[in-house]
A and B are shown apart, each in its own frame.
Chain A
């Protein structure tokens, strides 16, 4: 299964393998042998903070610690959390169209959206900005946006809504920046009325059951690509248990359901999106 990782300057091969196993166990991700160098680079800051010299010392501490908190930090450091505001902006436009259609078909209830693997919050906050600008967030029936990630550190940052100059420049048009953010001490902080639109929660896609209630639309972009095919299948099962009949799934560019699940098929109505397969009563056309 997993390739044995070769030793490096700061870690024996058994230390590297233990760390890789931890990542796989906790987050469902495998580190390819040719990317083992990432372990070292990614964990360097943590080693420094803890005053440790080698990965072997880190592994020793991991084995000795009881709380699992250090394990969280190790996993956190190894996850790729790259994201940006309005990533694949056209996809988000289609999301807003889809939400409008679902709202129109279900005027009596709130539409529910799940951003799974939301990282530091740019994806759900972009969506909240977009839907507000389009006048779709006004009343008591405003869509509910639930955003989850495995990483407590990423979620803390998302809840604070605080971004560096570098992060804010990625993808966020300047007019939106001045509308929705405040400049504080060199950073940009999202206004409370924006952050309030999103409920951030910790959730592990590979071990937790889906958040309560069904969702009309799930965004799970640039998350699956880090999982093995077996893990992807399991995650699609979780997602299908969380989607309403006829609801939609949006993956990242280059990610697909093909050969991995029978629960989702390409949507006919929204290009590039997937529709839940078992929808005898499609949400989009039948008010339920």
Chain B
């Protein structure tokens, strides 16, 4: 079973994501901000991270930088989620090391398609 770490400061969004991911046969873990997410990754890296971009404690961008600098052996794939769809914004996330992006709110098919693209579904 593949594992997915859902990183979002909204409990509701985490719950929705968890529900979808479980129907896609993922084992789901949750983190409420970038810092918690980094700890979770250092502990046991997941296969993929669903990463919210705007979080209070450590933003998605800061998290990606920290992940890059960390010495995690197997870097997880990162799908970042936003409500923005500006080109500059998306490019910045890709340059920072995100593998894919998905707009909120997303449905099962969309998320599944993105997980397939990064090779974990």
Residues of chain A whose beta carbon lies under 8 Å from any beta carbon of chain B: 84, 89, 165-166, 169-171, 173-175, 177-178, 182-183, 186
A178-B90, A178-B91, A178-B94 as given contacts; A173 in contact with B117, CB under 8 Å: yes
For residue A186, which residues in chain B have a CB less than 8 angstroms away from its CB?
85
List CB contacts (< 8 Å) of B77-104 with chain A.
Answer: 85-87, 90-91, 94, 98-103
The contact of A166 among B99, B110, B117, by CB within 8 Å, is B110
In this assembly, does B25 line the interface, its C-beta being within 8 Å of a C-beta of chain A? no
Residue of A nearest to B101 (CB): A174
- Give the distance in Å from the alpha carbon of A84 to the alpha carbon of B117 in the complex: 13
Say whether A174 contacts B100, CB under 8 Å: yes
Q: A36 to chain B: closest CB distance in Å?
A: 26
Say whether A183 contacts B103, CB under 8 Å: no
Residue of A nearest to B99 (CB): A174
The contact of A171 among B90, B102, B103, B113, by CB within 8 Å, is B113
Q: A95 to chain B: closest CB distance in Å?
A: 18
A169-B103, A173-B100 as given contacts; A178 in contact with B110, CB under 8 Å: no
For residue B29, which residues in chain A have a CB less than 8 angstroms away from its CB?
none
Say whether B90 contacts A174, CB under 8 Å: yes
Say whether B85 contacts A183, CB under 8 Å: yes
- Give the distance in Å from the alpha carbon of A216 to the alpha carbon of B46 in the complex: 45
The list of the 3 closest CB pairs from A to B, nearest first, reads A183-B87, A169-B110, A173-B117
Residue of A nearest to B93 (CB): A174
For residue A165, which residues in chain B have a CB less than 8 angstroms away from its CB?
85, 103
- Give the distance in Å from the alpha carbon of A193 to the alpha carbon of B28 in the complex: 42
Residue of A nearest to B89 (CB): A183
For residue B86, which residues in chain A have a CB less than 8 angstroms away from its CB?
183
In this assembly, does B35 line the interface, its C-beta being within 8 Å of a C-beta of chain A? no
For residue B110, which residues in chain A have a CB less than 8 angstroms away from its CB?
166, 169-170
- Give the distance in Å from the alpha carbon of A177 to the alpha carbon of B110 in the complex: 15
Say whether B94 contacts A169, CB under 8 Å: no
The contact of A175 among B85, B94, B113, B116, by CB within 8 Å, is B94
